[in-house]
Structure 1
């Protein structure tokens, strides 16, 4: 009888950025693996910067080859930070990934995530378009998680978002305490479903939380590069979106932007339902 296998797919959050160990990054998925039960084999396929298309095109095949018993797919923030953002494409990719993993027999783990604009403290006109995109992704993840019977974690809300001790110096990734919180919350859900049989991860970190000075240092050094890499892609579009926010607010028509985003999400999910119901042509 082979050992149970846990495979994690996603981006820097699942890779473990913000939770450094001697060998690199650890993160919530590695912490969770230790609590799934004795002898669990863990493989982390997540890569920093990944988008939903990377999970579909690169990580999914490798995951299926490993025949996982448990598979996590936590992805979508990087899609919202690109000028190519398309909620229809995001929904279609996630539907394919979720469906393939569930069809393989794996227990599927998913999560909705906080919006990056709020975490970075961007001005309202810049933050609102990003928030709207992240809400769209979260709505899709909620709907598809239910459709595919996933174990879903609501990580886009709660007191942990405003607890500075939970976050790393970059303000975008959880620190060790935050990664432990994610692992604990997933473990509780899996234990309730009879999937996790090992002890819950400890909530207490081994290392102290980063200081405010460390956060400022990150913004002045590595953070500058992080922003610059995205400016060439996102910033021109984000400025246009911000200008639209300002115009609609001045006219009192801001609700139209939210309504348009809601219609796009509904259309994306409806398209998946139509495709699922369409009979195949021999």
Structure 2
């Protein structure tokens, strides 16, 4: 069996999922899959340094404009680029522009010798039925992401066909962010893909099915809409973002 790759400088670019929203760290902050992965990487490479430039609410163009330059300056040998979901859920979704921004990040980071990892997205219509009309957008974006990853020799973890990634327990109450279980699943998936010691393919196994009566399901949908969907729409109408005034939680390469 080939030995696990040794990485010394890991940087993560992205939005709320990569920042770690939905996975509280117990100290008022957020952990997330990238932090969890960094911890696993550090067991293989004790000298690992890690930076997380992700900021909630950022769209692909913003991630490219705000995070790519600083990421390149940090000279990573491993980089994560996860972008596009905040674009998909907007009424005016320009797939070509989003893909151009993602491809530019792939090209720049692989161009400096970094191994780049990225993901496809699960079916958000299974997570929140009210946004099921956007499922087609997600599938189309995923198909193009697979092609971009192959073109630039980017390591892609294909979450779309894995049912566990769309399981309700893998998502926080707001259904916009991963739960601690979901973040753990993603970190395990990346570790498995990178063939890190102790990793396995268990993350692909289905999670237990959830049985709910129709009245309970309707009540759940109404509660979610009032607590999370309506406030989200309100912010969009006011031109506000959850990331306004937020800065990266880990802007420098520091030991894990």
In 1, Cα distance between equivalents of 2:107 and 2:54: 19
Q: Secondary structure at the match of 2:97?
A: helix
In 2, Cα distance between equivalents of 1:23 and 1:75: 25
Superposition deviation, residue 15 in structure 1: 0.7
Larger Rg: 1
Q: Which has the higher contact order (CA 8 A, sep 6+)?
A: 2
In 1, Cα distance between equivalents of 2:28 and 2:49: 18
In 2, Cα distance between equivalents of 1:215 and 1:16: 24
List aligned pairs for 1:125-140, cutoff 5 A. Answer: 127-128=132-133, 130-140=134-144
Greater alpha carbon shift after TM alignment, 8-17 vs 112-121: 112-121
1:150 to 151, 154, 179: 154
Match of 2:105 in 1: 97
Match of 2:212 in 1: none
In 2, Cα distance between equivalents of 1:106 and 1:56: 16
Q: Does 1:180 align with 2:184?
A: yes
Q: Considering fraction of residues, name the structure with more helix.
A: 1
Residues 107 and 114 (structure 1), Cα distance of their counterparts in 2 relative to 1, 3 Å cut:
same
Aligned length: 214
Q: Deviations over 1:234-280 (max 9, x none)?
A: xxxxxxxxxxxxxxxxxxxxxxxxxxxxxxxxxxxxxxxxxxxxxxx
Match of 2:50 in 1: 42
Cα root mean square deviation, aligned? 2.6
Superposition deviation, residue 14 in structure 1: 0.6
Question: Could you tell me the TM-score, scaled by structure 1's length?
Answer: 0.69
Q: Return 5+ residue gaps in structure 1 as ranges.
A: 205-211, 234-282
In 1, Cα distance between equivalents of 2:199 and 2:223: 34
Match of 1:226 in 2: 232
In 2, Cα distance between equivalents of 1:220 and 1:79: 23
Match of 2:65 in 1: 57
Superposition deviation, residue 103 in structure 1: 0.4
Superposition deviation, residue 82 in structure 1: 2.0
Q: Return 5+ residue gaps in structure 2 as ranges.
A: 1-6, 204-215, 240-256
- Contact map agreement 1:117 1:131 (CA 8 A) in 2: yes
Residues 216 and 167 (structure 1), Cα distance of their counterparts in 2 relative to 1, 3 Å cut:
farther
